[in-house]
Structures are given as structure tokens and as C-alpha cells.
């Protein structure tokens, strides 16, 4: 085998590794988010949390139930938003604003979302 063929195989293996890593990364986030969903849905129904104006979960009241769950969810959301921003060649802030608007529109009646001015509104 000549050096050129070795290089081609190496590049192909690196591409395969990168794709495999991304698929595993996305699958891990998706599974974690799926596991947290019942807790998040419950907190939203109680009016304790809502969707903030940056596309993350925020506390609407002084009650701070399951802070670790909310922090983990926001961490995974940020990883996804960062990936989207790189993929779309834009900033994280742009993706956050788009996601915040989308999540506010998708909120169920009775759930809270944060307006651009920082005030919380019940849908």
C-alpha cells in the first residue's frame, strides 16, 4: 500500500469516528432529556418553571424544586444550541432567541414563558 492510500484510509476512519461520536452524543442527550421530561412537565404544570427568553428553563417562583434536573436540562439544551449555531454558522445568541420564541409558541395553556423584557407570562 502506498502512502496516498494509507492517508485516504486514515481520513475515512477519522470521518467515520467523528460521525459515530456525533450520533452517540446526540443519542445521549436525547435519552437524558426524555428521562427528565416527566419531572419538567410536572414543574411546568405547577407553575414553578417556565421557558425563559433565551430558550432555557427558568424558575418563575421562589420555589426551587429539582434544581439539579433543571440545570442538567439547560446544560443539554446549551450543547444542542451550540451545535446548531456551529452547523448554521451563526451565534449561540441567535439560536437561543429562535428557540425561546419557538418554545413560547409551543407552551401549553397554563404554562409560563418569559417575555423579551424579562417578565413572566402565563399562556
Output the pLDDT for position 90: 93
Residues 6 or more apart in contact with residue 110 via CB below 8 angstroms: 45, 47, 122, 123
Output the pLDDT for position 20: 43
Asked if the structure places residue 47 within a domain, the reply is yes
Looking at the structure of the chain, the number of domains it has is 1
Residue 21 has pLDDT above 50, yes or no: no
Instruction: Tell me what the mean pLDDT of segment 9-19 comes to.
Output: 49
Q: Give the tens place of pLDDT for each residue, 46-102.
A: 999 999 999 999 999 998 999 999 999 999 999 999 988 998 899 999 999 999 999
Asked if the structure places residue 92 within a domain, the reply is yes
Asked if the structure places residue 106 within a domain, the reply is yes
Sheet holding 120-122, edge to edge: 57-59, 49-51, 112-114, 120-122
Output the pLDDT for position 79: 92
Range of the domain at 79: 30-122
Amino acid at each position: 500500500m502506498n502512502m496516498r492510500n494509507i492517508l485516504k484510509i486514515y481520513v475515512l476512519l477519522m470521518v467515520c469516528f467523528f460521525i459515530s461520536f456525533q450520533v452517540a452524543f446526540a443519542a445521549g442527550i436525547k435519552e437524558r432529556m426524555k428521562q427528565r421530561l416527566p419531572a419538567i412537565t410536572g414543574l411546568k404544570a405547577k407553575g414553578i418553571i417556565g421557558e425563559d427568553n433565551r430558550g432555557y428553563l427558568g424558575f418563575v417562583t421562589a420555589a426551587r424544586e429539582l434544581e439539579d434536573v433543571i440545570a442538567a436540562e439547560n446544560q443539554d439544551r446549551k450543547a444542542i444550541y451550540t451545535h446548531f449555531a456551529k452547523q448554521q454558522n451563526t451565534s449561540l445568541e441567535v439560536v437561543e432567541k429562535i428557540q425561546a420564541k419557538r418554545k413560547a409558541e409551543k407552551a401549553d395553556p397554563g404554562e409560563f414563558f418569559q417575555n423579551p423584557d424579562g417578565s413572566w407570562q402565563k399562556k
